[in-house]
């Protein structure tokens, strides 16, 4: 075992000593492929757990983050017990001293329940599956509709605030610390040319009610059971006060392209209209009368906004030297940015069709 692995296992042993379980015989394996946190599945003779090292550089409010998850899970469990929430609610496990997370050295860790025989999926493969995804995330937000959004801590300030993200991009362009601007100037210019859309987003955002939103509604943030049926919403790190158009837009962003997020052939991208129709139909149906008319109209705005805003974030990170998102190759974040901006373009071009599908 090399020094890095030995140090990791030592830290994990220290973390586990803070819980009321016997971890003397534990199998540890890496779980998932997220960009931010390090997540592990722990298997003991008696039970299975999820152990997560929270990236405190990305999430400096680590205690508030796990505190948010605890409040949300407690509320969802009550809703489930009252028959108002059809999904499972995997709980965070409190430490011996009743804390939601534990700090070892510079790192924060938390332990959670693992739903046996559950698994994640990486892509939506059919309209039927897209409908299940949309319904699951809508059920999540619906069950939290009577939970005061102001009682949830803001984990990342201005997370989906487009003005803030454009200022970040301008600063990255002005600094050009890694001398990467010349190779992506056209993409930068395109982003700055979308001022009319940006102003529209700012205007409508002021008129929409706040909800407790997930803010990362990828299919791999759902757990599935046999038959690819969603059984739980997971990864509550970015749950904050937000807008429904953000959650819906992120589903479109991650479900409606025929290419992977980091595919290098963005010119071959196609917008899957049948997937979009399944998403918006099932999302609206699950909300029923809990969604206002303006919120329904805003879903199309969100479908454009999330690819655009994530694209600018990937582009900003590329210009800054890849400090935020994990990368595994040269120009990885630039490839991601190109892909997202291409998706934004396709959604804009298809907007009249999308509006018709939303009726």
pLDDT of the residue at 147: 94
Closest C-alpha to 140, from 92, 73, 207, 205? 73
Statement: 3-113 belongs to CATH 3.40.50.620 = no
| Per-residue pLDDT, 56 | 87
CB-based contacts of 99: which residues, under 8 Å, 6+ apart? none
pLDDT score, position 289: 87
Q: Residue 302: what pLDDT?
A: 98
Lookup result for tokens 């003005």: 163
Strand partners, 232: 88, 223
Q: In the chain, which residues have pLDDT < 50?
A: none
**Domains 3-113 and 127-358 fall in the same CATH topology:** no
Q: Given this model, what pLDDT does residue 278 score?
A: 98
Rg of the chain, C-alpha, whole Å:
21
Per-residue confidence (pLDDT) for residue 45, from 0 to 100: 94
Q: Does domain 127-358 bear CATH number 3.90.1200.10?
A: yes
Location of structure tokens 């190759």 = 329
Q: Where are the alpha helices (DSSP H) in the chain?
A: 3-16, 62-81, 127-143, 162-175, 185-192, 195-205, 244-255, 273-287, 293-320, 332-349, 351-358
Boundaries of every domain in the chain: 3-113, 127-358
């Amino acid at each position: 075992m090399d020094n890095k692995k030995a140090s990791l296992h030592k830290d994990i042993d220290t973390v586990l000593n803070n819980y009321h379980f016997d971890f003397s015989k534990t199998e540890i394996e890496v779980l998932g492929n997220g960009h931010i946190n390090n997540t592990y599945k722990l298997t003991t003779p008696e039970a299975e757990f999820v152990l997560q090292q929270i990236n405190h550089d990305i999430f400096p409010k680590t205690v508030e983050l796990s505190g948010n998850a605890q409040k949300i899970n407690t509320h969802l469990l009550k809703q489930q017990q009252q028959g108002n929430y059809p999904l499972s609610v995997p709980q965070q496990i409190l430490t011996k001293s009743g804390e939601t997370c534990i700090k070892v050295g510079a790192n924060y860790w938390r332990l959670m329940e693992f739903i046996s025989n559950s698994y994640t999926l990486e892509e939506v493969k059919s309209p039927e599956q897209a409908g299940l995804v949309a319904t699951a995330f809508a059920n999540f937000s619906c069950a939290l509709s009577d939970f005061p959004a102001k009682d949830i801590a803001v984990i990342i300030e201005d997370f989906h605030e487009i003005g803030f993200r454009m200022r970040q991009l301008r600063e990255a362009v002005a600094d050009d610390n890694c001398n990467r601007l010349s190779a992506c100037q056209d993409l930068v210019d395109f982003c700055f040319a979308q001022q009319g859309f940006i102003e529209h987003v700012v205007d409508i955002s002021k008129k929409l009610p706040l909800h407790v939103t997930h803010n990362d509604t990828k299919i791999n943030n759902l757990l599935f059971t046999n038959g690819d049926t969603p059984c739980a919403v997971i990864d509550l790190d970015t749950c904050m006060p937000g807008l429904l158009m953000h959650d819906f837009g992120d589903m479109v962003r991650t479900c409606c392209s025929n290419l992977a997020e980091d595919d290098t052939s963005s010119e071959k991208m196609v917008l899957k209209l049948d997937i979009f129709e399944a998403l918006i139909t099932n999302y609206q149906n699950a909300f029923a009368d809990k969604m206002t008319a303006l919120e329904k109209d805003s879903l199309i705005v969100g479908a454009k906004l999330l690819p655009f805003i994530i694209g600018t974030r990937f582009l900003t990170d590329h210009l800054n030297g890849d400090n935020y998102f994990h990368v595994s190759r040269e120009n990885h974040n630039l490839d991601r940015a190109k892909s997202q901006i291409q998706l934004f373009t396709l959604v804009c071009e298809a907007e009249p069709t999308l509006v018709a599908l939303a009726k």
